[in-house]
Amino acid sequence: MSSSTNTGEQAPLLGDGPSLNSQDRAKRQTPAARVTIYGSLTLLFVVALILGIVFWEKLGGFVGNLPKDPEKAAKRLLDVAPIIDGHIDLPILARWAFRNNATAIDLEGDLYGHVDIPRLRKGQVGGFFWSVYVGCPDDEAAGEDYINATWRVRDTLEQIDIARELIRKYPQTFELSKTSNEIKSAIKLGKVASLLGVEGGHQLGNSLSVLRQYYELGVRYVTLTHTCHNAFADSCGYVPGIKPRWNGLSPLGKTLIEEMNRIGMLVDLSHTSDETARQALKLSKAPVIWSHSSSRAVHDHPRNVPDDVLALVGTEDNKTDAVVMVNFAPAFVADDGKADLEAVADHVEHIASITGKKHVGIGSDFDGIESVPKGLEDVSKYPALIAELYRRGWTRFELSGLTGRNLLRVMAGAERVAKDLQSVGTEPKYDIYTKRNDL
């Protein structure tokens, strides 16, 4: 049916009868009606003003203003931008203390270590990577070329299993999350988004096929090395002076990064040598992470990231987007006896001063460290760090980046790169480690 022209008809959904033009309506409004309308509007304004005054602090958390008190500000911020920690070692605690028996582990009670459900809630945690770590093999057992069987793939599968079993055991608290959007969805549901990360290339069994199968099981980052070199890359070790094997990435290590980019597995540069990190930053098409590393300029330790490597991080030309998630391990934070909350905040600030604040996050290493900084004793203490940085002038936008938004951006970036590579038909990599003699 064609639309009617100037017929005076009113649309059916608005009722029957002739319409009134604006001049007719104005003539029909009596003074009493106008007084009623103006009075009602004035009353609504007054009520809104009173509500704004009475509930200003609560409203401020949602419209952008935080309370002046740092502790209250931290709590308010974390209500809407909870912590997403890049590295928690709860699965290895389950292995060492409970032989990976999920039925024996009560996460709703006061669990030994740094992590349990009550403390996660108190610390306002919205998500974390469950590190499915197993240690480096003995050098002699692995062999000079890392080709001897060491059971590390079996052990990694057991760690993936215990992490997933604990996530499954507490469905009201945890939700397995595999993408940046799934993290957001879990947080919206009030759950702790749970991701998996493999902490070392030695856990891959020298195989790109194993990498792909870990991805299928839900793993979303692989740390290129732990404290040992492997078939893919050089480690920074734990003490100064470790002799490089590959002078950075091995040929297979370069292929590994290409395949990680293709499938959407985050490249994690914690534990790597400086040269490995430099080469990986140059090679990776996708954003990368340091899941649990601090600043070498603040405290000189091989595990920390030097300024010249931090300077390669960014979104400008010739830089790579990344997030450096600050580690709480006292040995990486400060001299003996001096590691505390303020020192950790110093690491956060220094890294941010080089990379920019959108490239820093939190990777505590809880349950993987024997001691803790004063003031950051367990996962319930995250708000204290946010309060300290708020005192130092960090804005709500900068703090929400630190608590999780920066990681989500990097993860989403890696997902986009994988989608793009797959959409143009990039084939999987089937390279075989040249030292293998069984194929």
Q: Please tell me what DSSP assigns to residue 429.
A: P
* Amino acid present at 42: T
Show which residues are catalytic. 87, 89, 199, 226, 271, 292, 365
Burial class of residue 17, CB neighbours in 10 A (0-12, 13-18, 19+): exposed
One-letter amino acid for residue 332 of the chain: F
Listed in sequence order, the residues at least 6 apart from 37 whose beta carbon sits closer than 8 Å to its beta carbon are: none
Is residue 169 helix, strand or coil?
helix
- Name the pairing type of β-strands 192-198 and 219-223: parallel
| Strand duo 322-326 + 360-362: pairing | parallel
The CA radius of gyration of the chain, in Å to the nearest whole number, is: 27
DSSP string, 84-147: EEEEE-HHHHHHHHHTT-GGG--TTS--SSS--HHHHHHTTEEEEEEE---PPPPHHHH-TTS-
Distance CA 76, CA 377 (A): 21
User: Rounded to an integer, what distance in angstroms lies between the CA atom of residue 173 and that of residue 165?
Assistant: 13
Query: Which residues have C-beta within 8 Å of that of residue 129, sequence separation ≥ 6?
Result: 85, 86, 87, 88, 195, 196, 197, 220, 221, 291
Give 237's DSSP letter.
-
| Phi-psi map region of 235: left, alpha, beta (phi>0 left; psi -120 to 50 alpha) | beta
